[in-house]
Structure 1
Amino acid sequence: MRVSAKADYALRALIEMAGQREASPVSAEELGRRQGIPHGFLQAILADLRRAGIVRSQRGQSGGWRMGRDPAEVSVADVIRAVDGPLVSVYGLRPEAVSYNDSARVLQHVWIAARHSLRDVFEDVSIRDLAEGQLPESVTRRTADEDAWQPH
């Protein structure tokens, strides 16, 4: 799986928002400065997140961006889907929509299994978890395996 810059930036911006005291709005400029995210790119990401109901904007002198939902209720999977679409796609199609001839049909099962594995992690980690630096045990267990850290 390749994590896009868009998904990475979106998650980093949301970690900043969720860490705000009293859920006060934070400007896009400030979010970008804190995380090193280009302003124009961040604006497009925030627009995607707003359409998904994950964030909301507030106009005015004390305006900016804030979480639109409880950070505990927003998963990494929700964010990736909001900015990049489905977690796994094959030629732009969801794995269940791909069709193969008899000899390659088993490949569809690989794509479905990969999506299921990604869901196991991405749907279990919330923005609150990330903002607090505390991952669920099911995720930390996976990172405890030394082989997980090795490039293959």
Structure 2
Amino acid sequence: MRFTSQEEYGLRCVLQMAKRDGEGPMKIADLAELESLTPAYVAKLMRVLRKGGIVVSVRGQSGGYRLARPPALMSVADVLMVLDHRLYEPAYCQEYTGISPSCVHMSDCSIRALWRRLEASLWHVLDKATLADLVGRERETIVQLGAPLHAARVS
């Protein structure tokens, strides 16, 4: 499973705003410094997030960006949907066709069923996790989400 840089950094910027919820809008320069990004890239992320209803812009000298809803009412899924995350996309099958023009398993693919199930499970978890759940330190978040301390591989 991979997330794009837009999804990773977009979520990080949103979490910076969640950590400071109620303290007023955050400036692009401040977000850029906190996340070690260029101001131009943060501005691009803010445009995407604003169009998607995740953040609102505040005009004026003390303006910037703030969350459109309280962190407890915004899920990680809400943010990633705006940033265009897709674990599985049907067009993906066309990328791995071997030497044929289309995949030989298009009509009956057990792997595709697995990817769809995995995607549904992932979205279920992301929809339950709010920004408020993620504003603490890593160990606190692990406890909050009921996640294992270390990823375990079942053999």
Superposition TM-score, scaled by structure 1 size: 0.79
Instruction: Go from structure 1 to structure 2 and tell me whether the alpha carbon gap of 1:119 and 1:40 turns closer, same or farther (over 3 Å shift).
Output: same
| Number of residues of Structure 1 aligned to a counterpart in Structure 2 | 141
Superposed CA deviations along residues 78-110 of structure 1, whole A, max 9, x for unmatched, are: 1111012434323269xxxxx9223x2x23311
Superposed CA deviations along residues 102-131 of structure 1, whole A, max 9, x for unmatched, are: 3x2x23311211112212321121111111
SS of structure 1 residue aligned to 2:65: strand
Aligned to 2:19: 19
The whole-number CA distance in structure 2 between the counterparts of 1:136 and 1:120 is: 17
User: Which of these residues, 89, 93, 111, is aligned with residue 107 of structure 1?
Assistant: 111
The whole-number CA distance in structure 2 between the counterparts of 1:21 and 1:118 is: 27
Superposed CA deviations along residues 123-152 of structure 1, whole A, max 9, x for unmatched, are: 1211111113443758433x335526xxxx
Superposed CA deviations along residues 27-70 of structure 1, whole A, max 9, x for unmatched, are: 01101101112221211111111111110001110100101111
SS of structure 1 residue aligned to 2:22: helix
The whole-number CA distance in structure 1 between the counterparts of 2:143 and 2:124 is: 12
Q: Aligned partner of 2:152: which letter?
A: D
Aligned to 1:43: 43
Superposition TM-score, scaled by structure 2 size: 0.78
Aligned to 1:96: none
The whole-number CA distance in structure 2 between the counterparts of 1:114 and 1:121 is: 11
More helix by share: 1
Looking at CA atoms only, which structure, 1 or 2, has the larger radius of gyration? Answer: 2
SS of structure 2 residue aligned to 1:86: coil
> Do residues 32 (structure 1) and 32 (structure 2) align?
yes
User: Which of these residues, 124, 131, 147, is aligned with residue 135 of structure 2?
Assistant: 131
In the alignment, structure 2 segments of 5+ residues that lack a partner are 94-104
> Do residues 76 (structure 1) and 76 (structure 2) align?
yes
Contact 1:124 1:136 in 2 (8 A): no
Instruction: Go from structure 1 to structure 2 and tell me whether the alpha carbon gap of 1:120 and 1:136 turns closer, same or farther (over 3 Å shift).
Output: farther
Contact 2:21 2:67 in 1 (8 A): no
**Percent identity at matched positions?**
28
In the alignment, structure 1 segments of 5+ residues that lack a partner are 94-98
SS of structure 2 residue aligned to 1:147: coil
Contact 1:28 1:43 in 2 (8 A): yes
